[in-house]
Chain A
Amino acid sequence: MTVREGKIDSFALVEVTGRVNSENSETLKDFLQELGKREQQVLIDCSALEYISSSGLGALLMLLKLIQNKGGILRLFSLSPRIAEVFEISGFDKFFPIFSSLEAARRADT
């Protein structure tokens, strides 16, 4: 798993790649916790995310709560069919705003 952070418009752009499993999900959680405290608008690029365990989903859930509590924006985009399925099964697709591409996620409210 790797996590990279950049900037696009007013959004913090985070790319999570590889496999997020129970061994490395704590690292992701720490990163997202710190990010959620300082950022208001976050886009997450899932195009190179191969696998996410339940503890990884938990880290994203925590970020969503941090961002929503201060009225911010969190959007995920470019989920592979496998990852989309994981979101669908757990019901996470019902409350995570998910977009097909970076462009769609950026322009969602315009």
Chain B
Amino acid sequence: MGIEKQGQNSEVQKLRDDNQQLSRENLRLQRAVEELGILNEIATAINSTLAVEKILDLITQRCVHHLGAEQGAVLLLEEQKAAKPFQTICRVGDTSHQRLPFRLDDQLTGWMLKHRAPLLINDLCTDQRFATGVGDLFPVRSLLCAPMVCKGRMTGLLVVFNKKTETGFSVDDQRLLAIIASESGQVIDNARLVEKENTLLLMQEEMRLAQEMQSNLLPKEPPRLPGYNIAGKSIPAKEVGGDYFDFLKLDGRRLAFCLGDVSGKGLPAALLMANLQAAIRGQALAGTSLTSCLERANSLLYRNTSPEKFATLFFGCLDTEGHVLHYCNAGHNHPFLIGKETEPLRLSAGGLALGCFESFPFEESQVQMKPGDQLVVFSDGISEAVNDRDEEFGEERVSDLAATNQDASAAELIEKILQDVGRHAAGRAQHDDMTLVVIKRLT
């Protein structure tokens, strides 16, 4: 009887044990299902977007919710910034606290960088490793932190603060956060790459627009004036450049024109070039004299640019009835006036490059244009184009080409010069903007 009861007791005990084990197993399976559910939920949500901010927000939100934390954050590692390697990208709160911790203490990020392992702390005040406190303007009692890894490289941290229940964060919580963090690493990295690529595409598009705008600032068609043949062309070394040329018909018989070169190249030079062109245009159309025009442009450029910026400009005004060319050369390569039987003339009178000093007097000069005369204005990108042996194209070749191609039209001469420069500099990248204006008197 006693033995039987004993036997029954042990049977009951075994059943109880089995039951408990089943319950535990059940709980474990239930947790696993929950965890899988959470992971699946995150994965589904992530797949629906490619925006880094949204993905980070989603991950943080789900972690805060499922782990019963008050707050959570994602910190991304910025490899270039050695002093402050982590940047808090996303913060999510599930609390009445108004303030969210916006950066983690250096001790903690340092610990994570060194150990690259999950960190679980349920009583932060007594933790000797982080004596100075972890949160910033926010009371942190407990925290759970896991590294995000992509291709063996640590890319960031996923962290949740202050478990809402008394028990604190559990080992299960740690395991779940570690899984989420490690899965997130690759996803976030991909999203960041996509964003970088998009930014690059946007920049390229903006550059294309700048290029289009700049080419719109240049004259589309050369002016037509009786007895003259005129052309101009500018080829920037980069997408946009600091060279420009312009034609302005002042009235039926007078044509103002210029060719300018802003120091430097690329976008900064292009912006300054647009500014200079606007200044010159405004003044010239208002009927200001050549010298006053340049004096004003000079002081404008001087006041609105950094000390190393300046611009050279050849500014001319052609009277097509008297065939007189008035000009003022502000530090620009001296243009050639090439006659049929006379030695080439260099047009040097004027003054200093624009923008160097606040006020500087400019002088105007004039020359007669005879039938068959050719005026060739060029930028230093032409004369200083170098070949493999660093030999410059040279100014004389510009003049020689004009002299030997007297029958070519202005546009044809420009193409011939550009082709010759191209042959000379074959194999080398164009190092400076190249611009030419040619004015030929026909009859």
Contacts and interface: CB of A to CB of B under 8 A. Distances in A.
Interface of A: 19, 21-23, 25, 29, 50-51, 53-55, 57-59, 61-62, 65-66, 89-92, 94-95
B334 interface: yes
B264 interface: yes
A58 B331 contact: no
B186 interface: no
Nearest to A23: B431
A64 B23 CA distance: 86
A23 B356 CA distance: 22
Interface of B: 261, 263-265, 306-310, 312, 330-334, 348, 351-353, 356-357, 380, 384, 390, 392, 431-432
Contacts of A59: 308
B86 to A, nearest CB: 31
A81 B348 CA distance: 18
B359 to A, nearest CB: 13
26 contacts: A22-B264, A22-B265, A22-B432, A23-B431, A29-B308, A50-B390, A51-B392, A53-B384, A54-B264, A55-B264, A58-B310, A59-B308, A62-B306, A62-B308, A89-B331, A89-B333, A90-B310, A90-B312, A90-B331, A90-B353, A91-B331, A91-B351, A92-B352, A92-B356, A95-B352, A95-B356
A54 B431 contact: no
Given A50-B390, A90-B352, A91-B352, A58 B263 contact: yes
B263 A55 contact: yes
Nearest to B311: A54
Contacts of B356: 61, 91-92, 95
A94 B350 CA distance: 13
B431 A21 contact: yes
Contacts of A57: 263, 310
A54 B261 contact: yes
A90 B264 CA distance: 15
Q: Tell which of B263, B330, B352 has the most Cβ of chain A within 10 Å.
A: B263
Contacts of A92: 331, 352-353, 356
A59 B333 CA distance: 19
A58 B380 CA distance: 15
B305 to A, nearest CB: 10
A62 B264 CA distance: 14
A50 B391 CA distance: 10
Contacts of A22: 264-265, 431-432
A50 B353 CA distance: 21
A92 B332 CA distance: 11
A94 B310 contact: no
Contact of A58 (B308, B357, B384): B308
B334 A61 contact: no
A3 to B, nearest CB: 16
B309 A58 contact: yes
Nearest to B265: A22
A53 B221 CA distance: 31
Given A54-B263, A65-B307, 11 more contacts: A25-B264, A55-B265, A57-B310, A61-B356, A62-B307, A62-B308, A89-B333, A89-B348, A91-B356, A94-B352, A95-B352
B380 A54 contact: yes
Contact of A95 (B261, B357, B380, B432): B357
Contacts of B431: 21-23
Nearest to B379: A54
Contacts of B348: 89
A94 B356 CA distance: 11
B390 A54 contact: no
Nearest to B309: A58
Nearest to A88: B348
Contacts of B332: 89
Given A55-B263, A55-B264, A61-B356, A19 B390 contact: yes
Contacts of B380: 53-54
A89 B351 CA distance: 9
A16 to B, nearest CB: 15
A65 B302 CA distance: 12
Contacts of B309: 58
B385 to A, nearest CB: 12
Given A22-B265, A94-B352, A61 B384 contact: no
A58 B264 CA distance: 9
Contacts of B357: 95
Contacts of A55: 263-265, 308
Contacts of B306: 62
Given A23-B431, A90-B331, A90-B353, A51 B307 contact: no
